[in-house]
A = this chain, B = another copy of it.
Amino acid sequence: MADLLIVGSFALDTIHTPTTSRERILGGTGSHASYGASFFTKVFASGVVGEDWRSDDTKMLAAHNIDVENLEVRPGTKTCFWEAKYSEDMNYRDTLDIQLNVLADYHPVLTEAAKKCPYIFLANNPPTAQMEVIAQCEEPKLIVADTMNFYIDNMKESLLELLPQVDGLILNDSEAQMLSGKRDLFDAGDFIRQLGPRFVIIKKGEHGSLFMGEDGELCVLPAYPSRQVVEPTGAGDCFAGSFMGYIASRDVADYKTIRDALLYGTVTASFTIEDFSFDALRRASREEIDARFRQMKEMLQF
């Protein structure tokens, strides 16, 4: 059992689905990843928020095996805010508003304890900030980063500088296509691996995920067949965080552990989509996650 550092955004989201709107609910890549990961191991969550951040959200994270010493509340600033609207069929979402606020000028500074985490997940953040984290890590065993279309478009050079510094990259299918210029996801994975990471994980939303490793390892997994899809924001971050949390809990990143971690990421994220924000995941127990793990294991057993 080893500790996991997660650095990412901690945000307030306003989300509109065809039937419901929820205002200023807990969101952010770092928070979703940390909560998922903390089912498996102790997480050091790092990020910055503003004065409008609710201390109850910090308490909720802290009560779930998450060290919040590195979650800075900066006076005189506002928390990152994101507003999005889902399409009628929930297949697409439009960003209606994004206010980086305190995130606009963010330079992560880690506590001594956080610097010593051997497992590091760099959730969505500017690649420059992700590299600042890596520079502070003292005993890294496994560094995995997420990225997004915005940084691929606008910070490509920094992103290409980051990639050789990470062991793995996790990103969406459309982002993998954008970064590689390849339509075929396997081609995209090959291309991205040549940019530095030993392995690539491509998230395909409701269609599951894809892992490609340095020795030709290839694993394609379906999503958990959830019957209760309410709102999917954060599922990809929860998947990535839980993946890393499971690996840290085993303190080894061989292929067998990685595959189990992919399945744990899959089933943990399946709770995220079953309600807004953290609502369904907060109701879930490790036992329920394990039950879905066994259910998928059985479904995929031939």
The verdict on A96 contacting chain B, using a C-beta distance below 8 Å, is no
Chain B residues contacting A300 (CB-CB under 8 Å) are 221, 300-302
Chain B residues near A89: list those with CB within 8 A: 183
The answer, among B184, B222, B227, for a CB contact under 8 Å with A221, is B222
Known: A222-B222, A225-B220. A302 touches B186 (CB 8 A): no
* Smallest CB-CB A-B distances: 8 pairs: A300-B300, A220-B222, A207-B207, A297-B302, A89-B183, A220-B225, A222-B222, A218-B225
Does A167 belong to the interface (CB within 8 Å)? no
A interface with B by C-beta (< 8 Å): 89-90, 183-184, 186, 204, 207-208, 210, 218-223, 225, 227, 229, 259-260, 263, 293, 296-297, 299-302
Pairwise interchain contact B186-A227, C-beta atoms closer than 8 A: yes
Residues of B within 8 A of A208 (CB): 207, 222
Q: Residue on B with the closest CB to A212?
A: B225
A289 vs chain B, min Cβ distance (A):
14
Identical copies of this chain, number: 2
| B220 & A223 in contact (Cβ 8 Å cutoff) | yes
A183 to B210 CA separation, bound complex (whole angstroms): 24
The answer on a CB contact under 8 Å between B299 and A218 is yes
Q: List 28 A-B contacts (CB under 8 A).
A: A89-B183, A90-B183, A184-B229, A186-B225, A186-B227, A204-B207, A207-B207, A207-B208, A208-B222, A210-B225, A218-B225, A218-B299, A219-B299, A220-B222, A220-B223, A220-B225, A220-B299, A221-B222, A259-B302, A260-B302, A293-B302, A296-B302, A297-B302, A300-B300, A300-B301, A300-B302, A301-B301, A301-B302
**From A91, which residue of chain B is reached at the shortest CB distance?**
B183
**Most chain B CB within a 10 A radius of its CB, from A208, A219, A220, A221:** A220
A269–chain B nearest beta-carbon distance, Å: 15
Chain B residue at minimal CB-CB distance from A89? B183
Chain B residues with CB under 8 Å of A229's CB are: 184
Which residues from B are CB-within-8-Å of A259?
Answer: 302
What are the residues of chain B within 8 A of A219 when measuring CB–CB? 299
Closest to A177 in B: B89
Q: Which residues of B contact A302 (CB under 8 A)?
A: 259-260, 263, 293, 296-297, 300-301
Q: Smallest CB-CB separation from A208: which chain B residue?
A: B222
**Bound form: Cα–Cα A210–B227 in Å:** 13
New contact pairs (15) apart from A89-B183, A186-B227, A218-B225, CB-CB < 8 Å: A207-B208, A208-B222, A210-B225, A218-B299, A220-B223, A220-B225, A220-B299, A221-B300, A222-B222, A263-B302, A293-B302, A296-B302, A297-B302, A301-B301, A301-B302
Considering the chains assembled together, what is the distance between the CA atoms of A204 and B204 in angstroms?
Answer: 13
Q: Across the interface, name the chain B residue whose C-beta is closest to A219.
A: B299
